[in-house]
Structure 1
Amino acid sequence: MHLLKTIKDVLLVPTHPKGKPFIAAAFVLAALLFLLSQYAGLLGVIILLFCIYFFRNPDRIVPQGKGFVLASGDGVISHVSTSILPKELGEDETEYHKISIFLNVFNVHVNRLPASGEIIKHVYVPGKFINASLDKASEFNERTVSLLKTPDGEKIGFAQIAGLVARRIICEIKQGDITNQGERYGIIRFGSRCDIYIPLNYDLTVDVGSASVGGETILAIDPKTYKPKSINWKKI
């Protein structure tokens, strides 16, 4: 019964619109393989179920408030360091906390906004497809880099980075957009990484190896403005 419930929970989760062509293609493939043999058809069904699972797009219970930054993706914290913002953003050499989240093929790949504010810069950068778990992927891989300015005037950077398998980044924000914390803003297909750049006046709440849930996990807090009792929760 537990296995059936797990399968039901996975298959009934909405899928991301950008995954529907892949799911449709997998369905057609499964049907054609069944014409060859039952065993081939079962292989097609496995591929179909994996596509549905990969492109799942579950709602999240998102904390809403001031003084904290959320994870932009599911996965594991692979790197924590200090760094300047990506050079493509054209900012000065102010240092930020840099948190990298590695997403494997079994994680939800829908990306969510780390904070509320205005997108003041957004750049798409073509590149390579080296292993996204390597630190140099931030500089060499295909990616989008964005800079958000919060209502308090703080700048938070975030990036979508393609991995070995992922070769298609979908980003649905642009410069000038007014965004809300935890909202979906894109997806990276088949394995990837997210980087988040947070001002140094924030205290980190995660470390290398910590699990991350996009739109729910708090990565860092500003001790001067973070008030846990004032947080509201919203299903997004």
Structure 2
Amino acid sequence: MTIIDSIKKSVVPIHPEGYPFIALFALATVILGWFIGPLFWIGLFLTLWCTYFFRDPARITPTRKGLVISPADGMVSSVGLAVPPQELHLSEEPMMRVSVFMNVFNVHVNRMPVPGKISKVAYKPGKFLNAELDKASEDNERNSLIIESEHGAIGVTQIAGLVARRIVCWTQEGEMLPVGERFGLIRFGSRVDVYMPTHIVPKVAIGQTMVAGETIIADLEGPQREAGTHREQ
């Protein structure tokens, strides 16, 4: 293995969505540094942070049937029953929801939690409240998907946060995507919710760190609870 090959393997790929932002930060750094020297170092730091933010590392995704994989990096902020977004028409009754909050230092590329067909994509404009707040699910800007899997419909919602001002979803209705496949990205701090059947027992807890495309959040084929035995966290 050559030195160049070693460098390539050690460098984390940058998602193309980040190129315009990195270029803008770099240009601003050069211009500001030209007129006010000390600002160059501040701009350089911000450019490096922007590059770091848009990193898109490779992930090794578990592929056993029935597994639900985290769609986002970050921390589990809530686990419990909640009604899915109305615009999805997924269910009028509460479903099991796992929410993953992403801060500005997490990878923000979102991945498919299960394999399946995208049967619906629904965008809803809204506010930019702190994504950790429960009411952000109803009030904030969001983009939601319904994934038709072998085990039924699974809902996924990208929620903009206090800093985030742009939800990117390059997936379209009718597409068939494998588990772990990239389907979107949120800039710059946000949350992703996964909605599953009510009887599903999540395998994660509030405060647990998630790795998109790798961490198992539920097993649709594993032992589940009986109706009426759910206790929210």
The within-5 A match list for 1:156-235 is: 156-224=154-222
- Aligned residue type for 1:161: I
Q: State the AA in 2 paired with 1:189.
A: R
SS across alignment from 2:18:
helix
Opposite residue 119 of structure 1, the aligned amino acid is: I
Structural mapping, 1:58-137, within 5 Å = 58-137=57-136
Q: What is the TM-score with the length of structure 1 in the denominator? A: 0.87
Runs of 4+ in 1 over 4 A off after TM superposition: none
Give 5+ residue unaligned stretches, structure 1: 1-7, 226-236
Task: Give the structure-2-normalised TM-score.
Answer: 0.88
Matched residue SS, 2:21: helix
Q: How does 1:144-155 map to 2 (within 5 A)?
A: 144-152=143-151, 154-155=152-153
Residue type of the partner of 1:90?
H
Q: For residues 57 and 207 of structure 1, what CA distance do their matches in structure 2 show?
A: 25
| SS of residue paired to 2:196 | strand
Query: In structure 2, what residue type is equivalent to 1:182?
Result: G
Match of 1:48 in 2: 47
User: Are the aligned partners of 2:119 and 2:146 in contact in 1 as well (CA < 8 Å)?
Assistant: yes
CA contact (8 A) 2:96 2:199 kept: no
Q: Does the residue aligned with 1:61 lie in a helix, a strand or coil?
A: coil
> Equivalents in 2 of 1:48, 1:211: separation in Å?
26
Residue identity matched to 1:164: L
Matched letter for residue 44 of structure 1: G
Matched-pair contact (CA < 8 Å) for 2:90–2:155? no
Aligned residue type for 2:23: A
Deviations 1:38-77 (A, max 9, x none): 4221111101101101111111111112111011100000
Q: Is the 8 A contact 1:201 1:222 kept in 2?
A: no
% same residue: 45
Asked if the contact 2:117/2:176 (under 8 Å) is kept, the reply is: yes
Q: CA deviation at 1:83?
A: 1.9
Query: What runs of 5+ residues in structure 2 fail to find an aligned partner?
Result: 1-6, 224-233
Quote the residue 1:234 is aligned against.
none
- Deviation, 1:34, is 2.4
- Where in structure 2 are the equivalents of 1:11-26 lying within 5 Å? 12-26=11-25
Q: Quote how far apart the aligned CAs of 1:138 are.
A: 0.6
The one-letter amino acid paired with 1:180 is P
In the comparison of the two structures, how many residue pairs are matched?
218
Q: Distance in 2 between matches of 1:169 and 1:39?
A: 34
